[in-house]
Amino acid sequence: MGEHTVIVKAYSDTHYLQAIKNLSHRLSLTNPKRQELEFEYNRIKAGDTGEKFIVEKLAQLKLPYDFYLFHNLFLNIESKMQIDILFLTKYYAIIFEIKNIKGKIEFIKNPDQLMRTLPNGDIDGFDSPELQLKEYVYELKNFFLNKGMNIPVYGAIVFPFSSSFIMRPPTETKVLRKNGIKGFIRDMETKKIFLNNNQIEFLIKHFLRNHLEYNPYPLINRYNISKESIVKGVMCPKCGVYGMQRSAYNWYCKNCHHKSKNAHENAIKDYLTIINESVTNKECREFLNVQDIDQMNKMLRKMDLKKVGKFRYTKYMLN
Ligand SMILES: [Zn+2]
């Protein structure tokens, strides 16, 4: 029986999801971006569930040969490619593109697009995953050829949710429901070995070394939100109201009279994920409403942050 390895996970989805929630909390109730962020939150959460489900399904697979699973591989070959799942064996490679789209799905040609109809009749258009997948297959195939490896590369679009109904599939690309994946892989041609152990080892190292770390922060740039619309202050961990006040040793909430020693930590993390990837003492005091420079210094130093620069040019970043 073969072994398998799940190797790459681009970034922590849980942190990212939490950061989106925190950003949404720091926008006024009437800000239309709040709704947009809520959709985004649900979209990522669904995507995460769908992809995880497929990765787990693949990881359980029993095959008479070794296979390697890369989840969320972000490479720059000819262009930047974010591969949902790469399935690598000595006989073939498959790129799986996961589509977390529910409803009735139709692949339309000329121009290529994907049309989705919801039960209530709403129709949405999406970019065709077929074009992107073909491009990825082409680039990866070329990459292998340039390294002297003539291994076949396949692509398949996977719909992990049972609430996706494929009314009209694409003509040239394999489309799979979650139950079709195992069979699809077992039917793969395994007559000829294209990669020896050294080549596989080389590829694993190469992919990991060249995997681009995906950094979604700061979120205001990513979601095109102005810095001015972000509510400042330290949030009370008990009642959720912003604007706790700092005394010598504690944060105090005027709303519910709660006291906290370290409520500033979440606010500083919010700053570093939402507003900017670095913060100075001055910026931090403005954001947290702290007057005392030394007190602010102590709070920043106690946290597990990366320190860059010296004296008043010191900047703090997330590790
Ligand atoms: Zn409170």
Higher pLDDT, 4 or 101: 101
Query: Residue 215 falls within a domain, yes or no?
Result: no
Domain boundary among 176, 210, 244: 210
Higher pLDDT, 245 or 128: 245
The pLDDT of residue 163 is: 87
Query: Residue 236 falls within a domain, yes or no?
Result: yes
Are both 11 and 133 inside the same structural domain? yes
CA of 21 to the centre of ligand 1 (A): 19
CA of 254 to the centre of ligand 1 (A): 7
Query: Residue 136 falls within a domain, yes or no?
Result: yes
The pLDDT of residue 216 is: 85
CA gyration radius for the chain?
A: 24
Domain boundary among 210, 241, 264: 210
Are both 183 and 48 inside the same structural domain? yes
Mean pLDDT calculated for residue range 61-74 = 91
Are both 18 and 83 inside the same structural domain? yes
Query: Residue 283 falls within a domain, yes or no?
Result: yes
User: Looking at the predicted structure, is the pLDDT value of residue 34 above 80?
Assistant: yes
Domain residues for 295?
232-318
Query: Residue 21 falls within a domain, yes or no?
Result: yes
Are both 159 and 24 inside the same structural domain? yes
The pLDDT of residue 10 is: 55
Residue 1 binned pLDDT confidence (cut-offs 50, 70, 90): very low
CA of 13 to the centre of ligand 1 (A): 28
Query: Residue 219 falls within a domain, yes or no?
Result: no
Q: Would you give the distance in Å from CA 1 to the centre of its chain?
A: 32
User: Both tokens of residue 3?
Assistant: 């072994």
The pLDDT of residue 213 is: 77
What is the C-alpha separation between 277 and 97, in angstroms, rounded?
Answer: 31
User: Both tokens of residue 141?
Assistant: 């195939």
Are both 148 and 251 inside the same structural domain? no
Which region among 56-60, 147-151, 244-248, 300-304 has the lowest average model confidence (pLDDT)? 56-60
CA of 29 to the centre of ligand 1 (A): 18
DSSP letter, residue 272: I
Are both 276 and 142 inside the same structural domain? no
Query: Residue 311 falls within a domain, yes or no?
Result: yes
Number of domains, the chain: 2
Are both 95 and 137 inside the same structural domain? yes
DSSP letter, residue 212: P
CA of 259 to the centre of ligand 1 (A): 8
Are both 128 and 170 inside the same structural domain? yes
User: Looking at the predicted structure, is the pLDDT value of residue 252 above 60?
Assistant: yes
| 317 touches 305 (CB < 8 A) | yes
Domain boundary among 175, 210, 245: 210
- Judged by DSSP in three states, 4 sits in strand
- Among 230, 234, 283, 280, CA closest to 259: 234
Are both 58 and 177 inside the same structural domain? yes
Are both 161 and 69 inside the same structural domain? yes
CA of 295 to the centre of ligand 1 (A): 22
What is the residue type of 134? K
Are both 167 and 274 inside the same structural domain? no
Residue 209 binned pLDDT confidence (cut-offs 50, 70, 90): confident
CA of 251 to the centre of ligand 1 (A): 10
Give the mean pLDDT of the chain.
92
User: Looking at the predicted structure, is the pLDDT value of residue 279 above 50?
Assistant: yes
CA of 243 to the centre of ligand 1 (A): 9
Residue 6 binned pLDDT confidence (cut-offs 50, 70, 90): low
CA of 55 to the centre of ligand 1 (A): 42
User: Looking at the predicted structure, is the pLDDT value of residue 86 above 80?
Assistant: yes
CA of 245 to the centre of ligand 1 (A): 11
- Judged by DSSP in three states, 189 sits in coil
- Judged by DSSP in three states, 275 sits in helix
- Which protein residues have their CB within 5 A of the ion that is ligand 1? 236, 238-239, 253, 255-256, 258
Using CA atoms, how far residue 98 sits from 47, 71, 183, in Å, is 8, 11, 17
Residue 299 binned pLDDT confidence (cut-offs 50, 70, 90): very high
Q: What strands lie across the sheet with 164-168, from one edge to the other?
A: 123-127, 113-117, 103-108, 164-168
The pLDDT of residue 242 is: 97
